[in-house]
Structure 1
Amino acid sequence: MTTSTLLLLVAVVLGLLLLGLLFTFVPVMLWISALAAGVRVSIFTLIGMRLRRVIPNRVIIPLIKAHKAGLGVTTNQLESHYLAGGNVDRVVNALIAAHRANIELSFERAAAIDLAGRDVLEAVQMSVNPKVIETPFIAGVAMDGIEVKAKARITVRANIDRLVGGAGEETIIARVGEGIVSTIGSSDNHKKVLENPDRISQTVLSKGLDAGTAFEILSIDIADVDIGKNIGAILQTDQAEADKKIAQAKAEERRAMAVAQEQEMVARVQEMKAKVVEAEATVPLAMAEALKNGNIGVMDYMNIQNIEADTDMRDSFGKLTGGNKEDKKDG
């Protein structure tokens, strides 16, 4: 192999390597596709995207779709949205859907909705095709104490202008539930709710529950109504049981006080008996002291003994007479 041939081979290899690097770093095929679609994009713009760490395919393909749909979207707008962390393809699809449905939606608003974390394409689709939100069974108590359970179907449409900062489906469900509870609670009789369930939907719908939300309520339909527990009877039963327990507690308190008073009286009687016994124990000593000092004579002492014996005898006769009278009554 001659030197010229070797140099030619090296030049061919280096050329292939340069072409490979060029086609790898510069999306030539994407640039050709854009030109074929009528989108004027400079090759240096694609190289700049590479340098800015932007995947050109994520920007140019949506740009081609927007151009074919007749949207005036620029490369800088799509690239800035990509750099901000947004989904460029979804935003362009939403703009195309809104344009086809004659819904006014600018790129700035669509990008803001997307960066806010909401699905802008789904919001546009919901504006065209309303969504039905079904609530769980919501229980309310009528004035007669009967619990009424109602399930509602809420037809909502996305409000593009309030998607950024507007409340979501949970708020709609909570507000409708509050309206159902208040409507049932203001009914005099649960039968009225069962006879006219549309009264609930009309009352709730007239309250403007979609204020501050990302949706517009189109209709509220009562899907099912059911009877629950007799809350009034349960409350009355619980109150009666509570009153019963209170009365029992008060009666037990009075009984305990009576027992305490009785025990106190018994203690006082025992104390008085103890004092009497103590006093009686001092009588013989006093008698002996009186005899010793000559305050009383022997005959006086004997008279006292006779009087005590006579008293004991009368007590014995009285007890015997009382016992015979009780026996006669029992007979």
Structure 2
Amino acid sequence: MPQGDIALIIVIGLIIIAFAVLFTFVPVALWISAWAAGVRVGIFTLVGMRLRRVIPARVVNPLIKASKAGLDININQLEGHYLAGGNVDRVVNALIAAQRANIELTFERAAAIDLAGRDVLEAVQMSVNPKVIETPFIAGVAMDGIEVKAKARITVRANIDRLVGGAGEDTVIARVGEGIVSTIGSAKNHKEVLENPDRISQTVLSKGLDSGTAFEILSIDIADIDIGKNIGAVLQTDQAEADKKIAQAKAEERRAMAVAQEQEMKARVEEMRAKVVEAEAEVPQAMAEAFRSGNMGIMDYTNMKNIMADTDMRESIGKATDDGKNDDNNRRK
């Protein structure tokens, strides 16, 4: 093959590679689309985006959309929001929706809401179409001790000005639940709550529960209401059971003390009996010593035995009399 043909093939190959690199690094198709849509974006601006590691389509396509919608947004604003980690397409969609709904929303505000982690498009849609939040069953106890359970539906609208830094749905539900519990607790009896459930809605709405939140409460409707336990009776039963256990514990303590005293008395009696037996054992020795020393004679001993016999006889008679009286009493009964 002639050298001229080889050189021509090499040149053509280099040209093809150059065009491939050009069309890969420079989004020519995107530049043509922007130019056709009337959005003037320089080719070097797109190259600069590539160098700044910005995906040009993520910025140019939303810019085309904003331009067609009549929004006054430049490419630097969108690129800056992209570099900050925001969702450019969602912000542009939110601005278009706000413009169509006559809601005042600037690009800076929308970008701040998006960077705060909230869905700015959903917020704009919620401003136009309010959202209904349903609470779980919330239980309160009326003054008569009856538990009342209520479920509420909260109709809220997003507050664009408070989306940054405002509390979310959980706070709204918690505040409404607190208002329901307070209203039920202030009722004299559960019948008042059942007869006028709208009293709960009016009381809760009057407290301004949406202050400091990202929402504006439009209405609070009681979806369901039910009767729960008789908390007053349960508390009284529990108190009675507790008092019973305390009384049983005190009675057991007194019984233990009585048993201990009884054991102590038995020990004392046994000790006294032992002393008596010991003293009785010393009597013969004392009498023998008295005989030897002449302090006691035969007559004295005889008189002592007579006295002991007389005492035994009197005790026997007394026992017989007591037994006879007991028999008479038993017969009368």
Task: Identify the residue that residue 57 of structure 1 maps to in structure 2.
Answer: 57
Task: Identify the residue that residue 177 of structure 1 maps to in structure 2.
Answer: 177
1:205 equivalent in alignment to 2:184: no
Task: Identify the residue that residue 70 of structure 2 maps to in structure 1.
Answer: 70
Question: 5+ unaligned residues in a row in structure 1: which ranges?
Answer: none
Which letter maps to 2:127?
A: S
Which letter maps to 1:54?
A: V
**For the residues of structure 2 that align with 1:113 and 1:209, how far apart are their CA atoms?**
22
**For the residues of structure 1 that align with 2:221 and 2:208, how far apart are their CA atoms?**
15
DSSP 3-state at the match of 1:258 = helix
1:189 equivalent in alignment to 2:189: yes
**For the residues of structure 2 that align with 1:188 and 1:321, how far apart are their CA atoms?**
74
Task: Identify the residue that residue 164 of structure 2 maps to in structure 1.
Answer: 164
Task: Identify the residue that residue 139 of structure 2 maps to in structure 1.
Answer: 139
TM-score (norm 1): 0.95
Question: 5+ unaligned residues in a row in structure 2: which ranges?
Answer: none
Task: Identify the residue that residue 223 of structure 1 maps to in structure 2.
Answer: 223
Which letter maps to 1:50?
A: R
Q: Please report the RMSD computed on the Cα atoms of aligned residues, expressed in angstroms.
A: 1.5
Task: Identify the residue that residue 127 of structure 1 maps to in structure 2.
Answer: 127
DSSP 3-state at the match of 2:240 = helix
Deviation at 1:41, TM superposition (A): 0.7
Task: Identify the residue that residue 288 of structure 2 maps to in structure 1.
Answer: 288
Task: Identify the residue that residue 273 of structure 1 maps to in structure 2.
Answer: 273
Deviation at 1:328, TM superposition (A): 4.2
DSSP 3-state at the match of 2:61 = helix
Which letter maps to 2:155?
A: T
Task: Identify the residue that residue 97 of structure 2 maps to in structure 1.
Answer: 97
DSSP 3-state at the match of 1:73 = coil
Deviations 1:166-206 (A, max 9, x none): 11000000000000000000001111111111110010001
**For the residues of structure 1 that align with 2:33 and 2:87, how far apart are their CA atoms?**
22
Which letter maps to 1:279?
A: A
Task: Identify the residue that residue 83 of structure 2 maps to in structure 1.
Answer: 83
Deviations 1:194-236 (A, max 9, x none): 1111110010001010111111111111111111111111111
TM-score (norm 2): 0.95
Task: Identify the residue that residue 316 of structure 1 maps to in structure 2.
Answer: 316
Q: 1:206 to 1:327 in 2, by over 3 A?
A: closer
DSSP 3-state at the match of 1:199 = helix
Deviations 1:99-146 (A, max 9, x none): 111111111111111111111100110011110000011111111111
Which letter maps to 2:285?
A: L
Which letter maps to 2:312?
A: D
Task: Identify the residue that residue 23 of structure 1 maps to in structure 2.
Answer: 23
Which letter maps to 2:18?
A: L
Task: Identify the residue that residue 242 of structure 1 maps to in structure 2.
Answer: 242
Task: Identify the residue that residue 154 of structure 1 maps to in structure 2.
Answer: 154
Deviation at 1:264, TM superposition (A): 2.7
Deviation at 1:315, TM superposition (A): 2.6
Deviation at 1:266, TM superposition (A): 2.8
DSSP 3-state at the match of 2:228 = strand
Which letter maps to 1:123?
A: A
**For the residues of structure 2 that align with 1:25 and 1:140, how far apart are their CA atoms?**
66
DSSP 3-state at the match of 1:9 = helix
Which letter maps to 1:128?
A: V
Which letter maps to 1:70?
A: G
Which letter maps to 1:38?
A: G
